[in-house]
């Protein structure tokens, strides 16, 4: 469904961020990307989102060549970036207003959830009319999630969306994201620094080499869904975490060919 084919990117200042990074995500799959800081993960997500053009390589979504932002690809960042003068509900509604008729028609043809249902889904019922300053960090991220889902994008890109939150809020939110994406059938690619979070959420964990980023290897996660944090104590969970760690510890490949390993 979503294919990033041999993506290379060098910024105008000469920094080579990515080298032949390839990724293949099937419909409804959750892929987590982990890798050292600065290896080009955010660059990759921005390229998939059509926000920047790669120096080489192509992104395809259902046979469509992605070269600019599309209402079919939603994105959520580490910072919720809510508009302080708008209520929770008004913030969530924003993409419908910005996208104009195109976004509205996409959401109606895709049968999007009515706003009250979406607010309920992300656990913010009762806070529709609250302002961002009245929310906790976790609640603000829930608003950002609802805002990213309002146009019902078939693909959601998440760049360390819970990085700024405390461990407990993060675990709760991760578990609800797992449920929400499963219920809405959303395909997701998420960057995270937490190996446990990657294993908890993903069907496939892709490990990125140090800069210039390419795929070191990937680990298939066959844990049943719905996932629960109690699974963290399962031996299988531990061995998956161990395999991701091993891949992270591998030296950068000497060849530039980024294979798409299936394990
Ligand atoms: N706009 C830019 N112009 C020039 N260089 C950039 C730009 N954005 C990122 N870089 C460089 O590209 C490399 C990859 O950056 P990127 O933000 O993609 O890494 P990352 O894997 O997301 O890192 P982190 O895990 O710390 O978020 C870094 O060396 C960074 O300095
Ligand atoms: Mg980043």
Q: Is 212 in the pocket of ligand 1 (CB under 6 A)?
A: no
Write down the pLDDT at residue 33.
Answer: 98
**Please, which pLDDT band fits residue 203 given cuts at 50, 70 and 90?**
very high
Q: Is residue 180 domain-shared with residue 65, that is, in the same domain?
A: yes
Ranges 87-96, 169-178, 192-201: which has the least confidence: 169-178
Centre of ligand 1 to C-alpha 42, Å, is 7
- Alpha-carbon distance 223 to 214, whole Å? 26
165 vs 142, higher pLDDT: 142
The string of DSSP letters for 222-258 reads ---SS--GGGGGSHHHHHHHHHHHHHHHSPPPSS---
Q: Is residue 175 domain-shared with residue 237, that is, in the same domain?
A: yes
Q: Is residue 56 domain-shared with residue 173, that is, in the same domain?
A: yes
> How would you classify the pairing of strands 64-65 and 56-61?
antiparallel
Residue 35 exposed, middle or buried by CB count within 10 Å (0-12, 13-18, 19+) = buried
Q: How many domains does the chain have?
A: 2
> How would you classify the pairing of strands 187-191 and 204-208?
unpaired
Q: Is residue 171 domain-shared with residue 57, that is, in the same domain?
A: yes
Write down the pLDDT at residue 261.
Answer: 52
Residue with tokens 């910024």, as numbered in its chain: 11
Listed residues 124, 153, 182: the one ending a domain: 153
Listed residues 133, 153, 173: the one ending a domain: 153
Q: Is residue 257 domain-shared with residue 146, that is, in the same domain?
A: no
Centre of ligand 2 to C-alpha 13, Å, is 18
Which atom of ligand 1 is nearest the CA belonging to 44? 18
Whichever domain contains 174, its CATH number is 3.40.50.300
Q: Is residue 163 domain-shared with residue 141, that is, in the same domain?
A: no
Write down the pLDDT at residue 101.
Answer: 54
For residue 101, what are the domain limits? 80-153
For 174-196, what is each residue's pLDDT tens digit? 998 899 898 889 999 999 999 99
CB 253 within 8 A of CB 211: no
Q: Is residue 219 domain-shared with residue 119, that is, in the same domain?
A: no
Is the pLDDT at 78 greater than 50, yes or no?
yes
Q: Is residue 113 domain-shared with residue 57, that is, in the same domain?
A: no
Which atom of ligand 1 is nearest the CA belonging to 160? 27
107 vs 163, higher pLDDT: 163
Listed residues 122, 153, 184: the one ending a domain: 153
Q: Is residue 28 domain-shared with residue 143, that is, in the same domain?
A: no
Arithmetic mean of pLDDT, 113-136? 91
Q: Is residue 124 domain-shared with residue 172, that is, in the same domain?
A: no
Q: Is residue 241 domain-shared with residue 172, that is, in the same domain?
A: yes
**Please, which pLDDT band fits residue 109 given cuts at 50, 70 and 90?**
very low
* Long-range pairs for 48-51: beta carbons < 8 A, 24 or more residues apart: 48/2, 48/4, 48/73, 48/157, 48/189, 49/73, 49/75, 49/157
Arithmetic mean of pLDDT, 195-217? 96
Arithmetic mean of pLDDT, 202-229? 96
Q: Is residue 169 domain-shared with residue 233, that is, in the same domain?
A: yes
Arithmetic mean of pLDDT, 123-128? 94
């Amino acid at each position: 469904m979503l294919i990033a084919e041999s993506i290379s990117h060098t910024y105008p200042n000469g920094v080579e961020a990515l080298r032949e990074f390839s990724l293949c995500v099937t419909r409804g799959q959750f892929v987590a990307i982990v890798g050292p800081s600065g290896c080009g993960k955010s660059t990759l997500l921005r390229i998939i989102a059509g926000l920047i053009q790669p120096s080489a390589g192509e992104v395809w979504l259902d046979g469509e060549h992605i070269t600019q932002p599309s209402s079919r690809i939603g994105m959520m960042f580490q910072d919720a970036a809510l508009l302080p003068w708008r209520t929770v509900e008004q913030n969530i509604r924003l993409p419908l207003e910005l996208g104009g008729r195109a976004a509205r028609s996409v959401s109606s043809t895709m049968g999007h959830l009515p706003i009250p249902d979406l607010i309920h889904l992300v656990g913010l019922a009762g806070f529709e009319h609250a302002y961002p300053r009245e929310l906790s960090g976790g609640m603000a991220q829930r608003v950002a999630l609802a805002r990213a889902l309002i146009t019902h994008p078939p693909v959601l890109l998440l760049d360390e969306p819970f990085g700024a939150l405390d461990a407990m809020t993060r675990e709760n939110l991760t578990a609800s994201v797992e449920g929400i994406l499963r219920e809405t059938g959303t395909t997701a690619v998420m960057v995270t620094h937490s190996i446990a979070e990657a294993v908890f959420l993903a069907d496939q964990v892709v490990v990125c080499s140090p800069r210039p980023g390419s795929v070191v290897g990937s680990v298939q996660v066959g844990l049943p869904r719905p996932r629960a944090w109690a699974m963290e104590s399962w031996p299988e969970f531990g061995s998956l975490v161990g395999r991701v760690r091993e891949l992270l510890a591998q030296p950068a490949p000497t060849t530039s060919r980024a294979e798409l390993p299936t394990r």
